[in-house]
Amino acid sequence: MKKVIVAGAGIWGCTLARRLAEAGREVLVLEKRPSIGGNARCAVDPETGVEIHLYGSHIFHTHDAAVWKFARRFTEFNGYQHKVLVKRGGKVYHLPLGLTLVNKFFGVELAPPDLEAFLTEERRAEIFDAFFRGYTGKQWGRPPESVDPSVIRRVPTRANYDTNYFNDLWQGIPADGYGRLFERLLDHPAISVECNRAFSLKNAAEFSGSVSDVFYSGPIDELFSYKFGALPWRSLRFETETIAVADFQGTSVVNYADAEVPFTRIHEFKHYHPEGRLKASGAVSEGRDWGWASGKTVVTREYPVQWRIGDEPYYPVNDGESARLFARYREEVAAVNGGFAADGMRLTVGGRLGGYRYFDMDQAMADALQTEIGTEGATRP
């Protein structure tokens, strides 16, 4: 049986590679970066023992039972519940938009039945201007009115005091780190991994006759050498520092809503492992302390930047023009498959970058679990 190539070792590619291997296929994973894990890749800081999320915070959360069952085959989760604070005008508030934020911002003491009537259009606009206008403008580099409304709708709202940012049934951080999760996903005798090696249409000929399928999760426009132009993205720049205090901000993420603050948020990664505090205090004897005993902490400031070819793409800019451009690249996938057919190959393009869509980690895993992996079936660009 011919082997299968999975190009890209992020959450989509690693999940798909595992499925293919367990279906009896020989899988070659090609990753252009030096390490596996995609944008969820983490590294343990040797000075402090803190697990640093190298490409911004990643919290696993899902309401999909199949995804949760699959993920827990490869790691246990620590039960971390994500909370986000927002700093505006020198004061700190709890997101999401709920009773905790509204009561503090307006100086009232509302109960759940009162909230809907209280939030008139004027007050909603005041909340938006205070907490989301500056942040959204920084994040997208454009006025909030020109941003796809689906982006704004991603901010959760609720009429209670629940300050958990996500309401998914299952949440957490891998108890022994994200690195081990990806290693275990690819730990199968039918899977081989080559890092620092990218798949391209130019090198596809070398696999002719020996490969039946290529599952590609890199940028779809890059695959075709940007022949129609580059799809628009927003990118990020990170500034990371080690600080000689045990706890810098008291939580994992603080958003900065004021437009004049150049960064959008500060991550303090040790808070993703609250169990480490128990280990450091001696309350439990097992597990790692994840930097809590070091007396130091690691923080990262996140700066949105305009994406250019060669930069890391993070957030697709969804508008009419980008949708039309993406559709043209989808057509190119079909055209390539027409040529590949003579060599007995098939190209499937997916994942966050290939599908030009924003994916949470569980959504990327769900999509990989549902992707057609047989030699027959429709291409999924």
Give me the CATH number covering residue 176.
3.40.50.720
Look at residue 264 and tell me if it is in a domain.
no
In the three-class reduction of DSSP (H, G, I as helix; E, B as strand; rest coil), residue 365 is classed as helix
pLDDT at 271: 98
What is the predicted pLDDT for the residue at 153? Answer: 54
User: pLDDT tens digits, residue range 158-187?
Assistant: 899 999 999 999 999 999 999 999 999 999
Work out whether the CA dihedral 313, 316, 322, 325 comes out positive or negative: positive
356 occurs within a structural domain: yes
Taking alpha carbons only, the member of 78, 87, 31, 73 closest to residue 51 is 78
Separation CA 318–CA 306 (nearest Å) = 15
Amino acid found at 269: F
List the single range of 44-53, 146-155, 210-219, 245-254 with lowest mean pLDDT: 146-155
DSSP 166-182: ---SEEE-BTT-HHHHH
Tokens of 225: 């050498």
Q: What's the confidence (pLDDT) of residue 124? A: 87
Q: How much is the pTM?
A: 0.92
Q: Does the residue 380 lie in any domain?
A: no
Tokens of 177: 């780190």
Same domain, 66 and 180: yes
**21 with 70, same domain?**
yes
255 with 95: CB under 8 angstroms?
A: yes
The reply to whether 69 and 178 lie within a common domain is yes
**What's the pLDDT at 361?**
97
Work out the pLDDT band at 376, boundaries 50, 70, 90.
very low
How, if at all, do strands 253-256 and 84-88 pair?
parallel
Residue 306 lies in a domain: no
Burial letters 294-327, b for 16+ CB under 10 A, else e:
bebbbbbbbebeebeeeeebbbbbbeeebeebbe
Domain match, 90 and 156 both: yes
Residue 2 main-chain phi, psi, to 5 deg: -70, 155
Are residues 48 and 21 located together in one domain of the fold? yes
Domain end: 143, 163, 183, which one?
163
Domain limit, last residue, from 141, 163, 185: 163
Least confident window among 99-103, 124-128, 166-170, 275-279? 124-128
Tokens of 336: 């390539």
Residue 263 pLDDT grade (very low, low, confident, very high; cuts 50, 70, 90): very high
Q: φ and ψ at 305, to 5 degrees?
A: -140, 160
Number of domains observed in the structure of the chain: 2
**Residues above pLDDT 90, as percent of the chain:** 83
Task: Assess whether 150 and 15 both reside in one domain.
Answer: no
Q: Are residues 176 and 159 in the same domain?
A: no
Question: Residue 322: what pLDDT?
Answer: 96
3-state SS of 8-21 is CCCHHHHHHHHHHH
Same domain, 147 and 199: no
> If you average pLDDT over residues 228-232, what whole number do you get?
97
Q: What is the pLDDT of residue 149?
A: 59
Residue 100: domain span: 84-163
Shared domain check, 149 and 30: no
Tell me the percentage of the chain whose pLDDT exceeds 70.
95
Which pair of structure tokens corresponds to residue 129?
Answer: 């201007």
Residues marked as catalytic: 154, 158, 234, 265, 302, 358, 360
Average the pLDDT over each of 40-44, 86-90, 154-158, 248-252 and give the range with the smallest value.
154-158
pLDDT band at 377 (very low <50, low <70, confident <90, very high): very low
At 340 the pLDDT is 84
Compute CA distances 67 → 61, 180, 358, 364, whole Å: 10, 18, 18, 10
25 plus 128 within the same structural domain: no
d(CA 180, CA 223): 29
Measured CA to CA, the distance from residue 142 to residue 2 in angstroms comes to 48
Are 90 and 203 in the same domain? Answer: no
Query: Are 154 and 94 in a shared domain?
Result: yes
For range 362-366, the mean pLDDT: 97
In tens, the pLDDT along 234-251 reads 999 999 999 999 999 999
pLDDT tens figures, 265-284: 999 999 999 999 999 999 99
Query: Strands 42-44 and 27-31: what pairing?
Result: unpaired
Give the pLDDT confidence of 284-298 residue by residue, as tens digits: 998 999 999 999 999
CA nearest 220: which of 348, 39, 124, 118?
A: 348
Q: Which of the residue ranges 38-47, 151-160, 203-212, 324-333 would you say has the lowest mean pLDDT?
A: 151-160
